[in-house]
Structure 1
Amino acid sequence: MKSLRFESYKSPPVLVEVDRPSPGPGEVLLKVAGAGACHSDVAVFTEFDDEFGPSQLKPPFTLGHETSGWVEELGAGVTGFEKGDAYLAYGPTGCGHCRACSRGQDTYCENAATMPFLAVGLGRDGGMAEYVVVPARNLVPLGDADPVAAAPLADAGLTPYHAIKQSLPKLAGGGTYALVIGLGGLGQLAVQIIGAITGATIIATDSDPTAMERAAANGALTVSSGPEQAEEIRALTGGRGVDVVFDLVGVSATIELAMKSVALRGRVTVVGIGNGSFSWNFYGVPYEVELTSTYWGTIEELHEVVDLYRAGSIAPQVELFGLDDAPLAYEKLMAGELTGRAVVSPTR
C-alpha cells in the first residue's frame, strides 16, 4: 500500500510502498478516510535530529496523527465493531495502566519515557496511508457524520477543546470575554467551540484578514495585528480586559499580547508550541492571573468533540488532497498557502 513516511531527519516525508499492516490483539485495522497534516509533523521532519527531540520520534514511521477511517479488520479479542463503520482515532498511546492513562489522558502518561512511541502518527505508523492499525480503545464512533472532514478533530479540535474546558470556571456567568490569538486550524475551531459551549463574547486576532473574516462569520469580534492591538482588545471589554486568553501560537510576542490583554484574576492558556517565553514580575501583570499550558486532551473529551461535530455545532474547514499529493499538502502547509486544514484522503 502507499504510505507517506518520515524516513530521515531534516528531510521532507516521502511517498513509498509498504506492506499493508495487520491488527494485533486489541487492535483494529482502519481503511483510512482522512488524515490531517499538522504543524507538529513539520517540526518532526525539519527540526529534530539524534540530539534534539523525543527519542520516540526517531524515523522511520508513517505520519498522520489526525486520522479517521472505516473498520476493515479486527484483531484477536476485539468485539463490538462492525466492518464499514466510521471512527475517529484518538492519537495518544500511553502505557494504558498508569493513573493518567486510566482516566483517558494518555498525553500525560506517567511512563511516557519508557514507551516506544508517543501516538499513532508520532513514532507509531499513522494515517497518511491507505490503512492504519489503531488500538480498539482509541476509536471514537462517528455514526453517519462525514469521516473525511472529521479527521482534524482528533487534534485541531481536541486540543483547543481541552484548553477551553479547563478554563470554563472563568467563563461561567454573563459578561465574560474570551480571546483567541492565532486563527489557523486550531484557532478557527477554538472560536466555534467557545461559541458552542459558553456564553462568552469572543474576540479573535490574527495578521491574516481572511482568517479574521472566517472567525467573524462564526461570531467573533476581530482585532487586527498592530502596535495598538492590546489596547483595542481591552477597549472591546470596556477596559477591564478578557477573562480567558487562548494563545494558539505560543511565541514570545503572542504570550506578551495575552498578558497585556488579560483581566484581573484572568487566565492565559498557551496552546501553540511556539517555544516562546515571558518575563514575569509582580507589578507587570494584573493580580491573580494564571499563566498555564495544555497539551492535546483526553479520550473522553474527544467523544465530546465528536458530539459537537455530529450536532453541527462545529465544522472544520478542510482542503482535501489525494494520497499521491500528500507531499504537496505539507509543502503548502509550510508555505502558508492553505485555506483550511489539509486533509489527505486516500479515497479521493
Structure 2
Amino acid sequence: MRALQYRTVGSAPELVDIPTPVPGPGEVLLRVTAAGVCHSDQFIMDLPEEQYIYGLPLTLGHEGAGTVESWGAGVTGLQVGDSMLVYGPWGCGRCYTCAQGHENYCEVAAAQGIAPPGLGAPGAMAEFILVDDPRHLVPLGDLDPVASVSLTDAGLTPYHAIKQSLPKLVPGSTAVVIGVGGLGHVGVQILQALSAATIIAIDTSEQKRALALDVGADHVLAPGEEAEAQIRTLTGGKGATAVFDFVGAPVTTGFASRVVAIGGDIAIVGVGVGTVDVGFFSTPWDAQARAPYWGSRAELMEVVELARVGKIHVEYEQFSLSDGPTAYERLRAGTLRGRAVIVPEGATS
C-alpha cells in the first residue's frame, strides 16, 4: 500500500510503498477514507534529532477515518464496510483514568509503549490503517468522512478544553479564542453552540479573522497591546472569563495571562513552548491555568453528534495522498483555510 511517511529527521514527508498490515488478535484493519493534517505533525517533524522520540519511519496521520476491511481473532460486533472514525489517544484501557473513559490521560501508556496513530504508531495517511482495539473506533454513520475526519482532533481537542470551563461561561461572560486555525475555528463554533459567552477571536491573519466571523465570533481582533485594551473595553474592565490559546507560544500565553479575569480560566491548547506563571503577583486572584490534552472517547461521540445536527463543522481543503507533501507545505506557510484533509486516490465514502 502507499503511505505518507516521515523518514529522516529534518526532511519533508515522503510517499512510499509499504506492506499492507494484517490484523492480529483484537485488531481491526480500516481502508482509509480520509486523514487530517495537523500542526502537531509539523511540531514533531521540526524536532531536532536528540529530541525526536516517535520512531522512524513514521506513517503520519493521527486524525483518521475509514471503512472496516477485516479484523483479527476475538473481534466481534463489526461488519465489513462500517464507516468509522479513529479515536486517537490510545491508552491501556485498564488503569484508573482509562476506567473513567479518559484514555487521553492514561497513566501507563508511555511506560507500556502505547502511542497514538501518527504519533508513534502507524497513522492514517495511507491506504489502510491498523487499529489496536475496536474500542478505539467511533461509528460515523452517514456523515461524510472527508468533512468529519478532523473532528477526531480539531473537534475533540477544543471540545474537551471548552467543556471544562462551561460552568463559568454564563450569560455576561466572555471567551477569548487565540488562533483561528484548524482547532480554533471549531472552538469558536463549540463556544457558540454550548455557551452564552461573548466570543472574541484573535489572529494575526486577516483571512482567519474573517473566518472567525463566518463561524460565529462576536468580535475579532489583531493581537497586540491594542487588543488587550479592547478586551478590557468589551468586558467592562473585567477581562476574559476564559481564554483558549490554540497557539501556545510565549507571546500568546503571556497575552492570555494579561487579559484573563479574576477567577478566570486559561487553557493552553496549542503545542508551542509557552507557559503561564500562576502566582500572587503574576495572575489575577483565583485565575487557573491548565494544559488539556485531546479528549475522551465519550466526548468524541458528543462532538460527532454536534456535527450530525449541524451545530459545528470543520472548514477544510482536500488533497490526494500524492499531494500530501504539498498539504504540509501549505500548513507551514499558514495559507490553509481550516484543516487540510488527505484522501487516498480511489477512496470512497
TM-score (norm 2): 0.95
Q: Separation in 1 of the partners of 2:46 and 2:252? A: 23
Contact conserved, 1:8 with 1:45, CA < 8 A, in 2? Answer: no
Q: Separation in 1 of the partners of 2:339 and 2:211? A: 13
Unaligned runs of 5+ in 1: none
Deviates more, 1:22-31 or 1:12-21: 22-31
Q: Separation in 2 of the partners of 1:109 and 1:210? A: 38
Q: Separation in 1 of the partners of 2:2 and 2:247? A: 33
3-state SS of the aligned residue for 2:252? helix
Contact conserved, 1:142 with 1:310, CA < 8 A, in 2? Answer: no
Identity value in percent: 49
User: Aligned match of 1:61 in 46, 58, 62?
Assistant: 58
What does residue 138 of structure 2 align with? 140
What does residue 276 of structure 1 align with? 274
Q: In the alignment, does 2:173 pair up with 1:176?
A: yes
3-state SS of the aligned residue for 1:334? helix
Question: Displacement of 1:125 after TM fit?
Answer: 0.7
Q: Separation in 1 of the partners of 2:198 and 2:15? A: 45
Q: In the alignment, does 2:126 pair up with 1:129?
A: yes
Question: Displacement of 1:11 after TM fit?
Answer: 1.8
User: Aligned match of 2:339 in 338, 341, 344?
Assistant: 341
3-state SS of the aligned residue for 2:290? strand
Q: Separation in 2 of the partners of 1:8 and 1:68? A: 26
Q: Deviations over 1:88-112 (max 9, x none)?
A: 1001122221112222222221112
User: Aligned match of 1:298 in 281, 286, 296?
Assistant: 296
Q: Separation in 1 of the partners of 2:323 and 2:105? A: 34
Opposite residue 223 of structure 2, the aligned amino acid is S
Cα 1:234/1:44, change in 2 over 3 Å? same
Q: Separation in 2 of the partners of 1:132 and 1:284? A: 46
Question: Displacement of 1:280 after TM fit?
Answer: 4.7
Q: Deviations over 1:106-127 (max 9, x none)?
A: 2221112323342011111110
3-state SS of the aligned residue for 1:199? coil
Question: Displacement of 1:141 after TM fit?
Answer: 0.8
Q: Separation in 1 of the partners of 2:222 and 2:45? A: 32
1:1-348 to 2 correspondences below 5 Å: 1-49=1-49, 51-53=50-52, 55=53, 57-134=54-131, 135-171=133-169, 173-220=170-217, 221-346=219-344, 347=346
Q: Separation in 1 of the partners of 2:249 and 2:161? A: 17
Contact conserved, 2:92 with 2:114, CA < 8 A, in 1? Answer: no
Question: Displacement of 1:332 after TM fit?
Answer: 1.3
Unaligned runs of 5+ in 2: none
Q: Separation in 1 of the partners of 2:282 and 2:292? A: 23
Deviates more, 1:245-254 or 1:105-114: 105-114
The number of aligned residues is: 344
Contact conserved, 1:94 with 1:115, CA < 8 A, in 2? Answer: no
